[in-house]
């Protein structure tokens, strides 16, 4: 079974913030594939179903972003899910708005939610889907930006990014990481430099 974990913060006040893109992608996958993500398990909301014929568990840790690993590690142990079957989806302030990067492994690159996952699982060989949220201008306070609601003018683009991210996760499950990377890794519109 695959485990698709979207990282975010529980609670209505965080629902429309950039920091909750991981949750939004899990919700979009659930909607598309008829999976109800409402079962409490290991401090996460979970749901089990199929994506393109593959058994999948969708999860939204309810521990707050920076402690995501304390939910995912026991969840994976309980259901005997190997780290190689985990796909972690989260926002990335180091990437420009609307960019998407699938990576098969690597460091947490300063992302505290991913840092927690890597520390609790004891490996950085984890597939991740990183969603670019940097607004393209200098930020006085990154945390303040992450936890502020997305501007109304960006809602349509955010919805497109959520669709694109859900498609990328489906491709990872159906076709494998390498093919999904070739198909979905993209720069932000109008950007000519490669960013990592």
Catalytic residues: 19
- What are the residues facing 4 on neighbouring strands? 58, 87
CA distance from start to end of the chain = 29
DSSP assigned state of 186: B
- What are the residues facing 131 on neighbouring strands? 91, 100
CA distance 161 to 180: 16
Tokens, residue 33? 């594939």
Any long-range contacts for 183-186 (C-beta under 8 Å, 24+ apart)? Answer: 184/100, 184/102, 185/100, 185/101, 185/102, 186/99, 186/100
Give CA 143 to chain center in angstroms.
Answer: 18
CA atoms within 13 A on the CB side of 141: 5
């Amino acid at each position: 079974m695959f485990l698709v974990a979207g990282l975010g913060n529980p609670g209505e006040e965080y629902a429309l913030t950039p920091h909750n893109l991981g949750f939004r992608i899990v919700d979009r996958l659930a909607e598309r594939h008829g999976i109800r993500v409402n079962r409490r398990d290991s401090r996460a909301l979970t749901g089990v179903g199929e994506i393109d014929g593959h058994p999948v568990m969708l999860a939204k840790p309810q521990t707050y972003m920076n402690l995501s690993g304390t939910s995912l590690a026991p969840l994976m142990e309980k259901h005997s899910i190997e780290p190689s079957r985990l796909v972690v989806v989260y926002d990335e302030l180091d990437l420009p708005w609307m960019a998407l990067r699938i990576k098969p492994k690597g460091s947490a690159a300063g992302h505290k939610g991913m840092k927690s996952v890597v520390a609790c699982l004891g490996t950085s060989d984890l597939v991740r889907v990183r969603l670019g949220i940097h607004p393209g201008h200098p930020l006085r306070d990154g945390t303040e930006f992450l936890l502020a609601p997305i501007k109304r003018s960006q809602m349509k683009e955010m919805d497109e990014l959520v669709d694109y991210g859900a498609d990328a996760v489906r491709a990872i499950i159906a076709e494998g990481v390498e093919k999904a990377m070739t198909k979905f890794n993209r720069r932000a519109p109008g950007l000519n430099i490669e960013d990592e």
